[in-house]
Amino acid sequence: MTQPEKARRVWRGRPNFVRPVSYRAEQSPDQRRATFLISRRADALKRRQCSLLHFWQTCRKPLCRRNRACCGDMHACFAANWRALPEEDREWARGLFRAMAQCLPPQAQLAAAQAARERSLAVRREAAEQEAAVAARPAAADRDAGPPDACVSAGLPRGPRVRIL
């Protein structure tokens, strides 16, 4: 067998880790089957997300790096690596995952992901501008804006503040 034939036989992303499914005692066989399928679909989705985001590049497991896909515990891998991503990359990934869930074509998925990133950057830019405007406003102007109540403007001494509940 030649090297290219061997390469064609390798199935990238073959899971080495299979998460156990827990059932409740009162579940019927049909409910157990549905629980099993839901669990396996969630695992496959999380594994695909890990592989799409190339989390295998930072994985300590040689099998993941060799297969260039997530082959270990996909939920632990996603939780650990998701926090390490910059916020704009997370927004891009969220946009991509939403587009994938809508079954859009690949080019539309990438466009939706880029649009989500641009929206996130615009919101962050606007928030930074608002913070800069608040910081640029002098604090003395807030204190000297005017008298707080009529007693001070009339020149009367200010007494203690009393609140009645």
Question: What is the rounded distance in angstroms from the CA atom of residue 73 to the CA atom of residue 55?
Answer: 12
**Is the per-residue pLDDT at 51 higher than 70?**
yes
In this predicted model, what pLDDT tens digit does every residue of 141-156 receive, in sequence order? 555 555 555 555 666 6
* 3 state SS of 149: coil
Where are the chain's structural domains?
A: 13-18+29-84, 86-137
64-68 LR contacts (CB < 8 Å, sep 24+):
67/10, 67/12, 67/13, 67/14, 68/12, 68/13
pTM of the model: 0.64
In this predicted model, what pLDDT tens digit does every residue of 87-122 receive, in sequence order? 999 999 999 999 999 999 999 999 999 999 999 999
pLDDT of residue 158: 66
pLDDT of residue 10: 44
pLDDT of residue 96: 93
Q: Which DSSP category does 156 fall into?
A: P
